Amino acid sequence: MKQKIPVSDLRVGMYVELPLSWTEHDFLRSKFKLTSPEQIAAIRAHGLREVTVDFARSDVPPPAPPEPLGELEYVSHSDTIFDPKDAPPPLWNPDTLVPAELREAVHDQRLAPEQKAQAVYRHSREMMLRLLDAPAPENIRAGKEAIRSVSDLILRDDQTARNLLRITAHDFYTYTHSVNVGLTSLMLAKALFKNSNGHDMQELGTGFFLHDLGKVKVDAAIINKPARLDETEMRRMRIHPYQGYKLLRDADALSEECRIIVMEHHELMDGGGYPKRIKGDQIHIYGRICCIADVFDALTAERSYKKAMTPFDALTLMRDKMPNHFDRQLFNRFVELFR
């Protein structure tokens, strides 16, 4: 019997299956029985928060089943969040926030595109995990510089960019969600604006990666609630675009591109979004791009109360069930990224 459990619940004697290829971790195998607390610490150090355990091959019994969960509407579903209490203990600073391996991978010309993509993706997630743990102004500025380097790589290296799109993980943590939305939004912007000099693509990349930064100011119990949010909770949820705006403003890292993306990534074409309930062409094209990527990643993420949708099924649902939510031309271009 296999079951996904939080890393915090791992115990010696469990037979784990890591959701990583053998090139992405330091163990001899991706499937093995835990024999020491050090192995559990190493799994946590890789940025994993949930792994599959095969209890038929374990020396410990499975945990008791959880209580049944209620129904959840989709709008709060792109609002995934990382719970700060699960963060690594160190308080990160600008010298430790960006993994040295990320800088090395971005600039290492010897790495094949697939290897470069795996390293950049893994260490970008690690950086976002640290930034959400410690979103101080100096850390935001350090993270922004690193994101600009990753954006440069995506813009200039088509092969690595395609590999990044292919290997994205689909868990529900905000640090993963932030990287996924950053990658897919920038890929769409690249396809749309590749022949134009009228867009600061590095700043766009920063805005896309940091679109959900304001989640650190929202009560995690609200965002992680395994049921439909009531109106009071939704009002609190809807503050996160403005909170992200304030964090970037206070860090003196708020370009026009970042401001638009952070404030408008939940606005819908039919006016049913938030926080300003603007619609149609009132929504900047940058906000429309990020909205599509945000909802797509939410639908393809696996959570405790729902299975992940395949990219095909998610795109089909967005086309057929949410026809008035997205810019149709941008959505069609987004679909082409996955062909």
Instruction: Quote the CA–CA distance of 327 and 269 in Å, as a whole number.
Output: 7
In this structure, the dihedral spanned by the alpha carbons of residues 126, 233, 235 and 136, taken in order and rounded to 10 degrees, is -30
Superfamily grouping for domain 74-336: Hypothetical protein af1432 (1.10.3210.10)
CA 76 to chain centre: 15
The dihedrals phi and psi of 53, each to the nearest 5 degrees, come to: -120, 130
pLDDT of residue 55: 86
Mean pLDDT, the chain, rounded, equals 86
Looking at the DSSP bridge assignments, the partners of residue 2 are 54
Residues comprising the chain, all counted: 339
Whether the link from the prior residue into 275 is cis, omega within 30° of 0, is yes
Instruction: Quote the CA–CA distance of 192 and 306 in Å, as a whole number.
Output: 33
Instruction: Quote the CA–CA distance of 339 and 334 in Å, as a whole number.
Output: 10
Residue 255 DSSP label: -
pLDDT of residue 244: 96
**In which region does residue 333 sit, left (phi positive, over 0), alpha (psi from -120 to 50) or beta (all else)?**
alpha
- Rg of the chain, C-alpha, whole Å: 20
pLDDT of residue 49: 73
Cβ count within 10 A of residue 333? 16
Percentage of the chain lying above the pLDDT 70 cut: 87
Angle between helices 256-264 and 285-299 (to 10 degrees): 50
Query: Please, is 126 exposed, middle or buried when counting C-beta atoms within 10 Å of its C-beta (0-12, 13-18, 19+)?
Result: buried
CA atoms within 13 A on the CB side of 112: 3
pLDDT of residue 267: 97
Instruction: Quote the CA–CA distance of 13 and 33 in Å, as a whole number.
Output: 6
pLDDT of residue 171: 74
- Listed residue (274, 122, 134, 299) closest to 213, CA to CA: 134
AA letter at 43: I
pLDDT of residue 320: 96
pLDDT of residue 183: 97
Instruction: Quote the CA–CA distance of 199 and 196 in Å, as a whole number.
Output: 7
pLDDT of residue 304: 61
Question: In CATH terms, are 2-57 and 74-336 the same topology?
Answer: no
Is-contact 258 210, C-beta < 8 A? yes
AA letter at 65: P
Between the CA of residue 174 and those of 23, 83, 105, 106, 183, what are the distances in Å?
24, 9, 23, 23, 14
Structural domain boundaries in the chain? 2-57, 74-336
Residues of the chain under the 70 pLDDT cut: 22-24, 26, 45, 47, 63-91, 224, 226-227, 304-305
* CATH fold for domain 2-57: Molybdopterin biosynthesis moea protein, domain 2 (3.90.105)
pLDDT of residue 88: 46
